[in-house]
């Protein structure tokens, strides 16, 4: 029986170890051919053309060229942007009439990993039905290589500089004329990734002084002890350089984590809390609410409520955040990881757009970032990752259910438990938050151990486990708006 859920696509495209299935050369070629066939059926306007970009991983070069060969074999022309942020490809697809956008990147993952992100002509991630159609086309593709054991073909690609120029111009135009941004000093960590092609150039054009960190990619140092997953060095540099703001992007610049002038790290929850009341005060916050995820801190929800602003939660993944924003007419949403979506500007999470919006906020209010986030008191939150090559239904593990029930009796709506499978890695994630740090350490350890034991039992029994689909979670606790 054919699955009615995509198996290759996670919450952020097809991802894995570069060179291994499903990112071996033959499968990458099949993906390109399958996407070409899909576009040939789904897109009415001609000629068919996609915009293709990549990050700085050493594997991104051959993957882009192999994908392009597959697309070209189906009559699809490829406009190659070279190293460029994922949100730039989303912008170009939406505003320049491309049939689709394709990005070769594994975002915040280490260099050994890579991924293929496919974006619609509107710059959004594909819906599950489209992913499923492409997956079935991949399975139907038969490759005829020139000789047994030979490598799949690679296309010859030449970078079109105007594509990057157009994106930088779009970003520059977001800053109102006369906005006094040149008075700010920044520290910018480019994660040795795609941000290095845009952020330094943009800040220079805006007249903003910036110290640029981690902008010398080797192909193997993307996200290595730097970027949005490791913002500590950026935050320390922000303090030591007496900068007004620090920012750390991830490998494809679709997320950003910030630092205050005092060197304190500011995540996506803080960004939403700083911006939502500002938007509301200027009549720009639609539906008087923001969209977060199951991982958004309960402290942010309570702080927003004090401002008269609601929070709607979704499964983890910016695609789910955007779906809820569009469904509810909300124009601001995001994740603690630093994916922030301003749907009036772009339908993609864009770390560089977020940086600009924070700079505009600082300029218009005259307040430092530390003051704008002062009202947010995050609840202590512990996240534990459990290796899970096989996915046991989390709500079927008795020990997990018992621990969650005990937690609820103790904390009620002043605490939350989220257990879910990662949409991009072979992990189960356990998140517990409440005001009692010792208690949450106890419960997160208890639940993680129960999941690990259940997975081990399944492995030893040889049974095939059926798991939750990527992006879904079992969430308990918190206020009613968190459900």
Q: pLDDT tens, 75-90?
A: 999 999 999 999 999 9
Q: At a CB cut-off of 8 Å and minimum separation 6, what does 314 contact?
A: 291, 292, 293, 294, 320, 321, 323, 324
Q: Evaluate if residue 479 carries a pLDDT over 60.
A: no
Looking at residue 4, its pLDDT comes to 64
Looking at residue 221, its pLDDT comes to 98
Query: Where a domain ends, among 328, 344, 372?
Result: 372
| Domain match, 275 and 259 both | no
Query: Where a domain ends, among 113, 148, 163?
Result: 163
What is the band of 144 on the pLDDT scale with cuts at 50, 70, 90? low
Rounded to an integer, the average pLDDT of 118-137 is: 93
| Domain match, 388 and 462 both | yes
Which CATH number do you get for residue 449? Answer: 3.30.310.50
- Name which residue leads in pLDDT, 440 or 463: 440
Looking at residue 425, its pLDDT comes to 76
Cα(266)–Cα(249) distance, integer angstroms: 13
348: tokens are 């993609």
Q: What number of residues does the chain have? A: 483
| Domain match, 448 and 463 both | yes
Rounded to an integer, the average pLDDT of 98-115 is: 97
Looking at residue 467, its pLDDT comes to 33
Q: Evaluate if residue 232 carries a pLDDT over 50.
A: yes
Calculate the alpha carbon distances from 168 to 7, 102, 335, 345 in Å.
Answer: 36, 19, 25, 14
| Domain match, 405 and 437 both | yes
| Domain match, 21 and 33 both | yes
107 is known as an active-site residue = yes
Query: Where a domain ends, among 372, 399, 422?
Result: 372
Please indicate, yes or no, if residue 2 is contained in any of the structural domains: no
In total, how many domains does the chain have?
A: 4
Rounded to an integer, the average pLDDT of 302-331 is: 96
Q: Evaluate if residue 58 carries a pLDDT over 50.
A: yes
Cα(24)–Cα(91) distance, integer angstroms: 29
Looking at residue 394, its pLDDT comes to 85
Cα(14)–Cα(425) distance, integer angstroms: 11
Looking at residue 151, its pLDDT comes to 84
Please indicate, yes or no, if residue 1 is contained in any of the structural domains: no
Percent of the chain with pLDDT over 70: 91
390: tokens are 């096989």
On average, the pLDDT of the chain sits at 91
* Pair 7, 135: CB distance under 8 Å: yes
Rounded to an integer, the average pLDDT of 325-340 is: 97
Evaluated on CA atoms 310, 314, 318, 320, the torsion sign reads: negative
Look at 162-176, 239-253, 378-392 and tell me which has the smallest mean pLDDT: 378-392
Q: The domain containing residue 400 runs over which residues?
A: 381-482
Looking at residue 388, its pLDDT comes to 83
Q: Evaluate if residue 147 carries a pLDDT over 70.
A: no
What is the band of 468 on the pLDDT scale with cuts at 50, 70, 90? very low
Looking at residue 473, its pLDDT comes to 54
| Domain match, 339 and 367 both | yes
Percent of the chain with pLDDT over 90: 78
Q: In terms of Cα–Cα distance, which of 303, 337, 455, 321 is closest to 388?
A: 455
Which CATH number do you get for residue 206? Answer: 3.40.120.10
Catalytic residue among 37, 60, 105, 107: 107
Looking at residue 413, its pLDDT comes to 84
* Pair 244, 187: CB distance under 8 Å: no
């Amino acid at each position: 029986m054919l699955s009615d859920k995509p198996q290759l696509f996670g919450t952020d495209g097809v991802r894995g170890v570069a060179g291994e299935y499903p990112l071996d050369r033959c499968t990458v070629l099949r993906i390109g051919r399958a996407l070409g066939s899909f576009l040939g059926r789904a897109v009415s306007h001609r000629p068919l053309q996609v915009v293709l970009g990549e990050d700085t991983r050493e594997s991104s070069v051959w993957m882009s060229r192999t994908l392009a060969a597959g697309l070209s074999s189906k009559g699809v022309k490829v406009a190659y942007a070279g190293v460029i942020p994922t949100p730039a490809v989303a912008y170009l697809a939406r505003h320049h009439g491309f049939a689709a956008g394709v990005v070769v990147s594994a975002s915040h993952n280490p260099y050994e990993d890579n991924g293929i992100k496919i974006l619609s002509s509107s710059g959004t991630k594909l819906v599950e039905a489209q992913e499923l159609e492409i997956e079935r086309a991949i399975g139907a593709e038969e490759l005829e290589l020139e000789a047994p054991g030979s490598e799949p073909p690679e296309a010859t690609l030449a970078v079109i500089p105007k594509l990057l120029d157009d994106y930088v111009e779009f970003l520059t135009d977001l800053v109102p004329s006369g906005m006094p941004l040149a008075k700010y000093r920044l520290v910018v960590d480019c994660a040795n990734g795609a941000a290095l092609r845009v952020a330094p150039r943009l800040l220079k054009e805006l007249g903003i002084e910036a110290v640029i960190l981690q902008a010398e990619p080797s192909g193997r140092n993307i996200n290595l002890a730097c970027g949005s997953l490791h913002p500590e060095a950026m935050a320390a540099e922000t303090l030591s350089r007496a900068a007004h703001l620090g920012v750390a992007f991830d490998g494809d610049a679709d997320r950003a984590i910030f630092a205050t002038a005092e060197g304190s790290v500011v995540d996506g929850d803080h960004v939403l809390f700083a911006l939502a009341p500002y938007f509301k005060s200027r009549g720009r916050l639609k539906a008087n609410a923001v969209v977060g995820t199951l991982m958004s801190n309960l402290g942010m929800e309570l702080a927003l409520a004090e401002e008269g602003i609601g929070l709607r939660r979704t499964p983890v993944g910016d695609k789910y955040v955007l779906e809820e924003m569009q469904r509810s007419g909300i124009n601001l949403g995001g994740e603690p990881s630093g994916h922030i979506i301003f749907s009036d500007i772009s339908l993609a999470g864009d770390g560089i757009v977020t940086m600009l919006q924070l700079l505009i906020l600082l300029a218009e209010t005259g307040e430092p970032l530390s003051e704008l986030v002062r009202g947010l008191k995050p609840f202590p939150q512990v996240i534990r990752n459990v290796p899970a090559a096989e996915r046991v239904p989390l709500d079927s593990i008795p020990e997990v259910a018992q621990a969650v029930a005990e937690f609820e009796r103790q904390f009620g709506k002043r605490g939350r438990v989220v257990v879910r499978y990662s949409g991009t890695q072979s992990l189960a994630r356990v998140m517990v938050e409440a005001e009692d740090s010792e208690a949450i350490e106890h419960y997160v350890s208890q639940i993680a151990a129960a999941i690990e034991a259940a997975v081990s039992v399944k492995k030893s029994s040889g049974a095939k486990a059926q798991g939750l689909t990527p992006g879904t979670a079992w969430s308990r606790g918190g206020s009613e708006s968190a459900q």
